[in-house]
Structure 1
Amino acid sequence: MSKPNQSRGGVGGGGASGSGNNNDVYNIVLLIVDLVMLVIKFWLTIVEEIIKMFTTRPETNVAGKFVLITGAGHGMGKEMALQYASLGAKVICWDVNEQTNSQTVKEIKQAGGSAFGYVCNVVKREDILELAGKMRKDHGFIEVVVNNAGIMPCHPLLEHNEQETRLMYDINVLAHYWMIQAFLPEMLERNEGSLVALSSCAGLFGLPNLVPYCGTKFAVRGYMAALAEELRLKNPQCNVKLTTIFPYMIDTGLCKNPRFRFPNLFKLICPKVAAASIIEAQRQGLEEAAVPRHFIAVEKVGRLLPKKAMRLINDFLDTGVDSDKH
């Protein structure tokens, strides 16, 4: 009786082994197919992106759509508000300063555009959420949200006090989170819309006298990249566009003491030019865009070089921001 049992056990074991071998072969074939597809898609994507570099991308029409801009009372916020309005957008201006914000709205209306002004301290999450609810009630869907409000104290790290540093992170970073929590859910529900975040070239390169500021702008870069991946994995067909902007020093007065060894090469950017470039990037649906555009490529190449080599180049160019306390 023992032999038949052994025979049946041998047959059963052989069947399990055969099944295991078949599974192994199947998994190997599947892996090979996946690798082949990866290589094909990889190179097709490379070719596609190279072609895009030499072609004009289509721009979405913002006419008749609501565009919300924080910090619209002055500087880049005001310039973007004026230009969006000139394109036919209905601009919603948020700023903590009622007087300057009202002036932006007034100028837009005088030029024949459509604008609405609201006072909002973006440091306060409750105020943002409450005002966002009012926006939906009064205006409906907000198609484009531009997180622009920011402050830029310029002095060495050890000269920053606690209040100044906390306020910088509250405005430059945390306010972005509250804005996204307020407006992104409806964008996802409708599967449309655009979120724009103003980082800075200080979010690409570390700069003296801007240590906390660089920290906030690197944070903007990081959270936008992470959010893009989160949305992509949650819904590969997600049509909500995320655009991170890295402007160089713009002539708005925010950067008080710029320093240039070669002024013609690194001069301040005109606000009108910068605003037009930002709006173009948003309308084209770019994930990242520097102003000027080539700065992102410069940063990527710089990361391939040894630190000491890059520092030699930085010292030679001698471009940056001097302290606003001296």
Structure 2
Amino acid sequence: MSDRKRLSPDAATKETPATASSSTAQMSHKEKEGKVSASLSFFLNLLLVYLPKDIWRYWTFKPKNVEGKTVVITGGGSGIGQRMAEIFALEKKANVAILDIDLRKATEVANAIQKQGGKAEAFHCDVTSTKALEVCCNAIKEKFNQVDIIVCNAAILYFAHTMELTNEQLQRSFNVNVMGVLNTIRAFLPDFEARNDGQIVCMSSICGFFGETYGMAYCPSKFAVRGIMECIRCEMFDRGMDGIKCTTLYPFFVRTPMILDMGMRPTSRFIPFMSVNRCANAAVQAILNEETQRFIPGYISIMAMAKNLMGYHFTIQARRFMNCRYVPTTILAKVVNPVKKAPSLASTTSSGISISSSIDSGTSESMEEELKKPIQRRLKAQPEENNYFEAPYVFGALLTLILLIFGIIVAYLPDLFKMVDMGRVSEVLYFIGTEYNQSISFILLCVALIHVVEAVSSLYLCHSIDTTHVCAAKWFVQTLIIGFPSLAKLVKHYKKVCRTEEEAQ
């Protein structure tokens, strides 16, 4: 037997610290190489494969033909759902199944479509009930054989402050807007999966990206709808069900009769309060193009993309600039003419959509007073201050402008004093302008910088007293040109506003 000691298997495989360190370093190096190569491959594919394919699809894609296909629309008894049903049935020659909690309204829409030569059927359905949806699904398949597109459009809206909403309102909003969407998708999805074909469409909202005052019951539910559609789209892709298309719609507020009757009038500086017809046509176009998502109007997608790039103050000012808000007129009326208690104001339409826009009768008087104070300050008192703009005293403004213009002439156009005979004065000014040109230029530069600082200060003062953007721009330009006389006027007004607020408190 050899004198060399025989090593056991465990001893043979045991690594020394140096060996382990070397192995770890090699693995780390390979991981880095993997990250680099994967990143390089991704960007090359993005630029040379995926982007060209998307561009090619954009230029060559033709809207699909839905003639003879079956489209199911929940909440189709009025508003956007009704108009979409009319477009699909009458213009696109599709079979339309109108699901609504109000069978009478749904039947009226279906009958009107049938009289014009379209194919439509009304079905009574509560989207919060899985049993009702199962019955509806079977009835639709018996009538039209198979379903090709489902449009989850039914929703309810409650507009009120967070503490004004009842637990029942919050729960019902979740049940209809979130579970109603899930129930509808789950009712029709098995048939889509069986043939790897179909399209799921959900009506979300721009509120699916932005929360807003009075939107506690509505906005979170639309955030959830966006999440549902992203999850279902990823699931279909990962399971190889690429024949099932998913489309999410994000419209701004639409001028439906229900919203107008309730006194809701959303406002924005740039975005129109859209007509039902405009929104429905854009929605149908997005469905036929099988778009993943569509903002209506399209340019509001910029708001959604820019949102995550903004800081705190930037977000506040951008919101004010866009002026996207919705305030029930009933609340404005109560602020101007407050009452002790207001009954709950709600309305339900054929699509199960309702709005609540007044203080709940169960809210205590002390709570109501606390809720009313900020509304009074924001919506009643400040608009008078917001639009304040005033020119400075004429003498001070003219004197500043004359001195500024005179200094520019001395520094940059001294030869003019040779042309104007003012005796000894012309000679002195010409001498100063030529011999001390750099000094005069430096003084003018300092004055210009001071004016810029004063103009920026005016913007900060305008922000402090919450003026409109138009007035802030006026103060900035005026202060930039005139300087201190303009700023002094604004400072005086600022102190007045501060005193008024202190007295009010």
Q: Secondary structure at the match of 2:308?
A: helix
Quote the residue 2:194 is aligned against. Answer: 189
Work out which of the two has the higher radius of gyration on C-alpha atoms and give 1 or 2.
Answer: 2
- Decide which of 258, 268, 281 is 2:286's aligned counterpart: 281
C-alpha distance in structure 1 between counterparts of 2:143 and 2:13, whole Å: 73
Aligned counterparts of 1:314 and 1:49: Cα–Cα separation in 2: 36
Q: CA deviation at 1:314?
A: 1.2
Matches of 1:9 and 1:308 in 2, distance apart? Answer: 64
> SS of 2:257's equivalent?
coil
**Which region of structure 1 is more displaced relative to structure 2, 49-58 or 35-44?**
49-58
For 1:257, which of 261, 264, 270 is the aligned residue?
A: 264
Tell me, in whole angstroms, the C-alpha distance in 1 between the residues paired with 2:268 and 2:186: 43
Q: Tell me which residue corresponds to 1:69.
A: 73
Matches within 5 A, 1:22-41: 34-41=38-45
TM-score (norm. length: structure 2): 0.58
* Cα pair 2:266 2:273 within 8 Å, conserved: no
Of the candidates 158, 161, 168, which is equivalent to residue 163 of structure 2?
A: 158
Contact kept, 8 Å, 2:267 with 2:273, in 1: the verdict is no
Tell me: CA distance 1:100–1:45, structure 2 relative to 1, closer, same or farther (3 Å).
Answer: farther
| TM-score of the superposed pair, with normalisation by structure 1 | 0.87
The answer to whether the Cα contact below 8 Å between 1:155 and 1:324 also exists between their aligned partners in 2 is: no
CA 198–28 in structure 1, closer or farther in 2 if over 3 Å, else same: same
Report the secondary structure of 1:212's partner residue.
coil
Taking the TM superposition and a 5 Å limit, the aligned residue runs for 1:120-159 are 120-159=125-164
**How do residues 106-117 of structure 1 correspond to structure 2 at under 5 angstroms?**
106-117=111-122
Question: Could you tell me whether the CA contact under 8 Å between 2:113 and 2:119 is conserved in 1?
Answer: yes
Give 1:220 deviation, angstroms: 0.3
Give the conservation status (yes or no) of the 8 Å contact 1:188–1:238.
Answer: no
Q: 1:48-73 deviations in whole A, cap 9, x for unaligned?
A: 37736973642111110000000111
Instruction: Please report how far the alpha carbon of residue 252 of structure 1 lies from its aligned counterpart in structure 2 after TM superposition.
Output: 0.7
Further displaced range: 113-122 or 34-43: 34-43
SS at match of 1:116: strand
With over 3 angstroms needed to count, the CA separation of the structure-2 counterparts of 1:257 and 1:230, relative to structure 1, is same
SS of residue paired to 1:43: helix
Alpha-carbon displacement from aligned partner over 1:57-111 (angstroms, at most 9, x marks no partner) = 4211111000000011100110000000120100001111111101110111111
**Cα distance in structure 1, aligned partners of 2:51 and 2:197:** 27
Counterpart-to-counterpart distance in 2, 1:40 and 1:289 = 28
Instruction: Give the Cα–Cα distance (whole angstroms) in 2 for the partners of residues 210 and 49 of structure 1.
Output: 40
C-alpha change, 1:13 and 1:201, in structure 2 (3 Å) is closer
- Other-structure match for 2:4: 3
Q: Which runs of 5+ in 1 are unaligned?
A: none
Change (3 A) 1:4 1:289: same
Distance 1:220 1:228 in 2: 12
2:199 maps to 1:198: no
Q: Does 1:318 align with 2:331?
A: no
* Further displaced range: 299-308 or 37-46: 37-46
Preserved contact between residue 152 and residue 254 of structure 1 (Cα < 8 Å): no
Across the aligned residues of Structure 1 and Structure 2, the Cα RMSD in angstroms comes to 2.9
Give deviations 1:106-146, integer Å, cap 9, x for gaps. 11111111111111111212111222122223322200000
Which residue does 2:297 correspond to in 1? 292
- 1:12-60 C-alpha deviation (Å, 9 max, x unpaired): 999xx9xx89x96998877665444323222236633773697364211
The one-character-per-residue Cα deviations of 1:167-224 (angstroms, maximum 9, x if unpaired) are: 1111111011111111011111111100000000111211111121001100000111
CA distance in 2 between partners of 1:117 and 1:67 (Å): 12
- Establish whether residue 307 from structure 1 lines up as the match of residue 312 from structure 2: yes
Query: Per the alignment, do residues 291 and 261 of structure 1 end up closer, same or farther by CA in structure 2, a change over 3 Å counting?
Result: closer
Change (3 A) 1:310 1:27: closer
1:167 corresponds in structure 2 to: 172
Moved more, 169-178 or 33-42: 33-42
Q: Distance in 2 between matches of 1:27 and 1:310?
A: 39
- Identity, % of aligned positions: 21
Report SS of the residue matched to 2:66.
Answer: coil
1:176 paired residue number: 181
The count of residues paired between Structure 1 and Structure 2 equals 318
Separation (CA, whole Å) in 1 of partners of 2:40 and 2:236: 26
Q: Give the secondary structure class of the aligned counterpart of 2:160.
A: coil
Instruction: Specify the SS of the correspondent of 2:249.
Output: strand
2:245 to 234, 241, 244: 241
Q: Report the secondary structure of 2:217's partner residue.
A: helix
Cα-to-partner distance string for 1:199-250 (whole Å, 9 max, x where unaligned): 0011121111112100110000011111211222222x52100111001111
Give the letter aligned to residue 171 of structure 2.
Answer: R
**Structure with a larger share of its residues in helix:** 2
What SS is found at the alignment partner of 2:147?
coil
Distance 1:261 1:230, change over 3 A: closer
Q: Distance in 2 between matches of 1:2 and 1:133?
A: 85
Cα gap change, 1:242 to 1:261, in 2 (>3 Å): closer
